[in-house]
A and B are shown apart, each in its own frame.
Chain A
Amino acid sequence: GENVEQHPSTLSVQEGDSAVIKCTYSDSASNYFPWYKQELGKGPQLIIDIRSNVGEKKDQRIAVTLNKTAKHFSLHITETQPEDSAVYFCAAIAGANNLFFGTGTRLTVIP
C-alpha cells in the first residue's frame, strides 16, 4: 500500500516568514494530493490540493508543488500569520477512496 512520509514534525517561524513542509509518497499510482489544516478541537480542513497532471498550484499565500518523478510534494506558506498555527497533514489517494495521511507537521507562527 501507499506510504506517505512528512517532514518536519514541528516547525516554528517568525510572523511574516515562509514555511515549507515536505512529503514523499511510495505508490506511483497515486494521483491526487490534498493538504489539510487541523486546528485544536476541529476536524481536518482542506486548504489546497493538486492532481498528478499539474506541477504547481497557488492560492493566495499557499502554494503546492508536485514532482511525480521524485514522488514528492511540498506545501509553501508565505507571509505567515499567527492564525496559520495548526497541524498540517499531507495526503495521497491511490484509488478506491483510500486516503493515506502523512504524520503531520505542527506549525507555530511566533508573533
Chain B
Amino acid sequence: DTEVTQTPKHLVMGMTNKKSLKCEQHMGHRAMYWYKQKAKKPPELMFVYSYEKLSINESVPSRFSPECPNSSLLNLHLHALQPEDSALYLCASSHGTDDQPQHFGDGTRLSIL
C-alpha cells in the first residue's frame, strides 16, 4: 500500500464533462506534484505545489486546473478534455528539498470518450 492515496482509481468522462481528481498524503510532506504518464513512457511533470503555493506549471493547458486546499490535499480539476488527455495521472509528495524522494500514489486511469 502506498502512503499517497488517489481517488478515483478509474475515471471515464466525455469531452464536455467536469470532473476532479483527488490526492491525499499524511506524511507531513510540504511539496506535492501532479504527473501525467502515457503508456510505456516515464511520468511527465505537470504541476508542483510547495507549501501550498503553485511553484511550477510545466506549460499545461488551462483545461487542467490544480488546487491545493491544504498541505495534505491536492486536487486536479478537469474540464473540456481531449481524447489525447487519456492517461494515468499520478500524484506524488515529498519533503520538498532536492535530496529527498518523491513518493507516488497508484494514480487515476483517465479515459476521455
Interface, chain A (partner B; CB < 8 A): 31-32, 34, 36, 41-46, 49, 51, 89, 93-99, 101-104
Contact = CB atoms under 8 A, between A and B. Distances in A.
Chain A contact residues: over half helix, strand or loop, or mixed?
A: loop
B106 A41 contact: yes
A73 to B, nearest CB: 15
A49 B101 CA distance: 8
Nearest 9 pairs of A and B residues by beta carbon: A101-B42, A43-B104, A32-B99, A43-B106, A95-B98, A44-B104, A46-B101, A34-B101, A93-B98
A46 B103 contact: yes
A97 B58 CA distance: 13
B94 A97 contact: yes
18 contacts: A31-B98, A34-B102, A36-B104, A43-B2, A43-B4, A43-B92, A43-B105, A89-B43, A93-B98, A96-B56, A96-B98, A97-B50, A97-B55, A97-B94, A98-B56, A99-B45, A103-B42, A104-B41
